[in-house]
Structure 1
Amino acid sequence: MLPEPRNPVKVLEQCQVSPWPSPSSGKPRSLPLTFYDLAFWDVPPVQRLFFYGNADLLGAPEFLLSELPLFEKSLAATLHHFYPLAGKLPCAMREAAPEIVFSDGDSVCLTVAVGDDNFEDLAGDHARDTARLRGLLPPLLRNGSGGGGSQWQCSQDVFAVQLTVFPLAGICIGTTLHHAVCDGSSYAHFMKTWAAIHRCGYGDGRRSTMAVEALPLFDRGVVRDNDGLREVFLSDHRAHAAAGDKRVDECDLAGGTTTELATFRFTDRLLRWLGRQVESETSARRCSPYALACGAMWAGIMRARGRSVSFGFVTGCKPRASPPIPGNYFGNCLGLCRVEEEEGEMEAKQGCLLAAVTASATAIWRAIEGLAEEGRVFRDARGWVRLVREYASARAVTVAGSPKLGLYAATDLGTPWGRPRKVEIVSVERTGALALSESGRDGDGGIEVGLALPRREMEAFRAFYADLLVAAA
C-alpha cells in the first residue's frame, strides 16, 4: 500500500449552487418525512465517490477556467428539478415532525479541491486506508437558528458535492447525502439527470429540459400509512433522544481502528459456479446473483471475525406498496429485512468454505423469496427504527446500493470524462454495509462489492476470497 501523503487534498474554493431557474411558486416548499424516511433519520450520511480518468487534464487552473463553470451550470439546472436537495432539515428530532424545507435562495455547497495522491491507486480495487478517501468527501454544513419554531434552532444541509482535481489523471466527484432525504433509487435518478444535462448542454434551459427522461415526483400523498408507522417511528426516535441515546451517526461504528476499503468482484462466471454449488447442496432450484454475492461476502466476514454475524438487507417497496408508488417518486421507499438463521446453523458450517457460502446464500435467498407473500415486507415494520440501532451496535452485515441502480452507465458525463472508472460508497466504513453495484468493467458482467473492514479482518477476508477463487478455477 502506498503511504498516505501529508497533505492529500487542498481546498481551492467553495461556492453555493442554487437551483436555476428557481422552482415555480406552485412547487411545494416543504416535504414532510414519511415513515420510510424516518427509518433512516439518524443513520450516517451516504457518501459516494466517482472517479473519472482524463490524462489530458493539465491542472487545477485549467479546470477552474474551462470545466468548473460547466459543472456549476449543469448542477444548477439539475437542482431546478431536484430542488429539495438544496433544502434544509432540522438537526434534531423535536416536538414538530421533521420536514425538508426549501426557501428561495437555498443552495448546495460545492467544494473544489486539488488532490496530491495517486489517482490510479485511489481508484483501484485493492485495500486502501479509508483515511486517504475521506478528504475527497464534502461535509454537510450546519446552520444557526432558522428563526422559526423550536425544531429550527439548528438546521443542516441535506446534500453536498466536491470536485477534486488530480492533474494529468482525472477528477473525483464526491457526494454526501442525508439518508432521510431519499434512497439509492432517487439518488441515481438525480445523478443520471445531472450527467444527461451535463452531456447535452451544460445547463442551457431548453436542452436541459429535453435531457430529463422523467421528472421527480414529490407528492407525499402517494405514500399510504394505514398502520400509523410514522407516529411509531417518531415516538421511537423521541424516546431514544429522551433517554440520552446517541444518534447512530454520532457513534463510532468502526471501533476506532484503522479501516481499509477494497472491492471484490463476482463475475458472471463466478456467480454461475456459485449457483451450481447451491443447487447441488440444497433443494433450491435457483439462487439470485444478488443472494450469491451477498452470501459469499457474509460467510467471508464471519470467517474474518471468527464468529456469527447477523445479516440484513433492504428491498424496494414502490411495487410492494398498496397501491404501488410511482417509480419516479423522490424520497425513501425501502423496507428493512432481517435474515433469520436457525440457532447454530451458520457456526456448524464454518469449517468448510463452500458449505458456509452455500448456507449463507441460501438463507438470503429464502428471505428474498419470502417477500413474494403480499404484505410480508411490512409485517415487522413497527420495529424498523429499533432494528437499525440493533444492527449498528452489533456490527451486523447490511447492504448499501444495488446493481439495479446502474450508476456506471447512468453517470456518463460525455467528453472529455465519459463513464466513471470507479464508483465507491465510502460511508460503508461507518455503517459496515456491503456496497453493491453492477460491474464497472466493460464485458466483465456480474457484481462488484465494496467492503470496509479493520486491517486484520481485511487480511483474513482477502484470504477467504482468494480461496474462493481457487475453488472456482
Structure 2
Amino acid sequence: MMAPGPLHAVTVLEQCHVSPSPAPVAGQPRALPLTFFDLVFWDFPPVQRLFFYDNADLLDVRDFLLRELPRFKKSLAAALHHFYPLAGKLTCEMAEGVAPEVVFSDGDSVRLTVAVSSDDFHDLAGDHARDTARFRPLLPALPKHGGSRSQDVLAIQVTVFPRAGICIGTTLHHAVADGSSYVHFMKTWAAIHRLSLECRKPVGPESPPLFDRGVVRDDAGLRDAFVSDHRALFVAGDKRLADWDLSRRPGVLLATFRFTEIQLHRLGSHVESETSVRCSPYALACGAAWAGIVHARDSGSTDGAAASNARFGFVTGCKPRASPPIPANYFGNCLGLCRVEAKRSGLTAAAASAAIWRVIEGLVEEGRAFRDARGWVRCVREYASARAVTVAGSPKLGVYAVDFGALWGRPKKVEIPSVERTGALALAESGRDGGIEVGLALPRAEMEAFRAFYLDLFGSLK
C-alpha cells in the first residue's frame, strides 16, 4: 500500500455568492417543511462529494478565472433558478413552536469558493489509499447564521490544479435532499453549462424538480414522532452519531476498491454455491465490503467484540414504495432505512451478501419498507454507537454522468470524503470498466487488513 502523500496548501482566490438567475417565479413555495423522510437526517453530518475533471490543457489559474469561471457561475445561477431551495437556509433548531423547514428569501445564494492547489491532481483522483486530510481543503463549509439558528443548505468549491484539471467540491445538508435529488441538480447544472456552450441558448432540466410536500403522505404521524424524538435526544445530550466519526483520528486513509462485472459474476456464483442465494450485484459488493471491514476491525481488536453481532445498514428508495407513489422528480429525501445483522465471528463475504439480499428481497412485500419506520431516528443512533457499516451513494445515481462538456466532459473520479464521519461505504457505478466502486475511510492498519481480505477473496475465485 502506498504511503499517503504530503499535505499541500490550498490558496483561496475568491469567495462569492451565486443567486438563482432569474429569480424563482412568484408562485413557487418559499418555505418547504421537512417531511418525516427529511427529519431522519436532520442532524447528520453533511454529505460531501468531490468531482475530479482532468484537463492537461488548463495552463494556469488566470486563464481559468478569465475564461471558465464566468461560465461556471452563469450555469450555476441558471441551475439554481430551477433548484432554488438549495440557495435557502435550513432551520437549525428543534425547539417548541419552531418548524423545521427550508426557507428561501429573495437575495439568498450559494457560497462559491474558488481556490488553487499545488497537490498532485492525478494522485488525489486515484484509487490507492490517500490521507483523508488531503481532501479536506477541497471541501467547502456550510455557513451558519443568526447565532447558529439557521444554516446554508449547499456550498460549492472549485479548486484549480494547473496543467492537470479542476475539482468541484460540494457540501450538502442531508436533511434537504437525498442522493437522487442532489444528482438531479448536479446533472442539471452540468447540462446547462454544456448545452449553453453548444447551443448558445438557455436550457433547463428535462424534468423540473417537484417541491410539493403534499405528495408525501404521513398517515402514521411519523413527522411529529420524529420531531419529538429529536427534541428528547437533544435534551438528553445524545452524542452517539459522533461514534462513527474518524475525522479526529490521525492516519485515516480513503481508498477505492473496484468490483468489476467479472468479479461480481464470480462472487455471485460463489455465494450461490455457499448459501443457495442468488444475490444482486449491489448485495454482493456491499456484503464483501461489510465482511472485509468486520475482518479488518477484528484483526486488531482485543476487546471481545467478535462475540457480538455485526450490523449493516442501507437505504432503499421509497418513491415507488409509497402509497400513492411519489413522483420520480420529487425534490427532498425519500429513503427508507434497512437493517441487517449477522454473526460477527468469521463473517464471510458469502454470508454477509446473502444476509443483505434477504432483506432486499423482503422489500417486495407491500408496506415492508415502512414497517419499522417509527424507530428510524433512534435506530440511527443505535447503529452509530455499534459502529455499524452503512452505505452512502448508490450505483444507480449515475454520478459519472455529470458531464460539463467542452473542456471538462465527465469526471475522472468521484469521491465521498464525508464517509470519514459516517462510517459508510461510498458506492457508485464504476467510472471505468463497469461494475461497482466502493470507497472506504479506515485507519491505516484496518485499511491494510481490508486490502488483504479483498485480494484474498478475489484471488480465491479465479
TM range (shorter): over 0.9
Deviations 1:96-146 (A, max 9, x none): 12110000000000000001100010000000000000100000001126x
Q: Which residue of 100, 105, 108 maps to 2:107? A: 105
1:296 maps to 288
2:425 maps to 434
1:175 maps to 170
d(CA) in 2 for partners of 1:417 and 1:108?
22
1:5-16 alignment runs, 5 A limit: 5=6, 7-16=8-17
1:71 maps to 72
1:351-362 alignment runs, 5 A limit: 356-362=348-354
Deviations 1:420-451 (A, max 9, x none): 0000011001101001100000xx11000001
Structure 1 position 245, deviation (Å): 2.4
Deviations 1:402-426 (A, max 9, x none): 00011102x1111111110000011
Deviations 1:61-85 (A, max 9, x none): 1111100000000000000000000
Instruction: Check whether the contact 2:246–2:252 (CA below 8 A) recurs between aligned residues.
Output: no
Q: Per the alignment, in what secondary structure is the counterpart of residue 66 of structure 2?
A: helix
Q: Does 1:425 align with 2:416?
A: yes
1:144 maps to 146
Give the letter aligned to residue 173 of structure 1: I
Identity %: 71
* Closer/same/farther in 2, CA of residues 217 and 237 from structure 1, 3 Å limit: same
Instruction: Check whether the contact 1:97–1:234 (CA below 8 A) recurs between aligned residues.
Output: no
2:331 maps to 330
Structure 1 position 187, deviation (Å): 0.5
* Closer/same/farther in 2, CA of residues 277 and 5 from structure 1, 3 Å limit: closer
Structure 1 position 203, deviation (Å): 11
Instruction: Check whether the contact 1:73–1:202 (CA below 8 A) recurs between aligned residues.
Output: no
Q: Does 1:244 align with 2:237?
A: yes
d(CA) in 2 for partners of 1:61 and 1:18?
24
Structure 1 position 462, deviation (Å): 0.7
Q: Which residue of 243, 260, 265 maps to 1:267? A: 260
d(CA) in 1 for partners of 2:238 and 2:331?
30
Instruction: Check whether the contact 1:138–1:175 (CA below 8 A) recurs between aligned residues.
Output: yes
Structure 1 position 315, deviation (Å): 0.2
Q: Per the alignment, in what secondary structure is the counterpart of residue 337 of structure 1?
A: strand
d(CA) in 2 for partners of 1:51 and 1:375?
40
* Closer/same/farther in 2, CA of residues 333 and 422 from structure 1, 3 Å limit: same
1:22-41 alignment runs, 5 A limit: 22-41=23-42
Give the letter aligned to residue 359 of structure 2: A
Instruction: Check whether the contact 2:244–2:384 (CA below 8 A) recurs between aligned residues.
Output: no
Q: Per the alignment, in what secondary structure is the counterpart of residue 404 of structure 1?
A: coil
2:441 maps to 452
* Closer/same/farther in 2, CA of residues 281 and 119 from structure 1, 3 Å limit: same
Instruction: Check whether the contact 1:54–1:416 (CA below 8 A) recurs between aligned residues.
Output: yes
1:61 maps to 62
1:149 maps to none
Q: Does 1:231 align with 2:224?
A: yes
Q: Does 1:215 align with 2:217?
A: no
Count residues in correspondence.
451
Instruction: Check whether the contact 1:346–1:360 (CA below 8 A) recurs between aligned residues.
Output: no
d(CA) in 2 for partners of 1:276 and 1:250?
36
RMSD across aligned positions (CA): 1.7
d(CA) in 1 for partners of 2:333 and 2:231?
20
1:283 maps to 276
Q: Per the alignment, in what secondary structure is the counterpart of residue 194 of structure 1?
A: helix
d(CA) in 2 for partners of 1:281 and 1:386?
35
Where does the alignment leave 5 or more consecutive residues of structure 1 unmatched? Answer: 146-152, 351-355
Q: Does 1:256 align with 2:249?
A: yes
Give the letter aligned to residue 441 of structure 2: A
Q: Which residue of 401, 404, 407 maps to 1:413? A: 404
d(CA) in 2 for partners of 1:2 and 1:360?
30
Q: Per the alignment, in what secondary structure is the counterpart of residue 311 of structure 1?
A: strand
d(CA) in 2 for partners of 1:205 and 1:395?
51
Q: Does 1:200 align with 2:198?
A: no
d(CA) in 1 for partners of 2:123 and 2:141?
24
TM-score under structure 1 length normalisation: 0.92
Q: Runs ≥4 in structure 1, deviation > 2 angstroms?
A: 1-8, 202-207, 244-258
Deviations 1:356-375 (A, max 9, x none): 11100000000000011111
Q: Per the alignment, in what secondary structure is the counterpart of residue 174 of structure 2?
A: coil
Deviates more, 1:245-254 or 1:104-113: 245-254
d(CA) in 2 for partners of 1:249 and 1:460?
24
d(CA) in 1 for partners of 2:68 and 2:211?
31
Structure 1 position 205, deviation (Å): 9.5
Where does the alignment leave 5 or more consecutive residues of structure 2 unmatched? Answer: 299-305
Deviations 1:198-241 (A, max 9, x none): 001169995223xx110000000000000000011000000011
Structure 1 position 7, deviation (Å): 4.0
Deviations 1:254-274 (A, max 9, x none): 562421000000000000001
1:367 maps to 359
d(CA) in 2 for partners of 1:456 and 1:395?
17
d(CA) in 1 for partners of 2:159 and 2:361?
43
Structure 1 position 247, deviation (Å): 7.6
1:300-315 alignment runs, 5 A limit: 300-306=292-298, 307=306, 308-315=309-316
Instruction: Check whether the contact 2:3–2:129 (CA below 8 A) recurs between aligned residues.
Output: no
d(CA) in 2 for partners of 1:198 and 1:250?
40
d(CA) in 1 for partners of 2:247 and 2:145?
27
2:301 maps to none
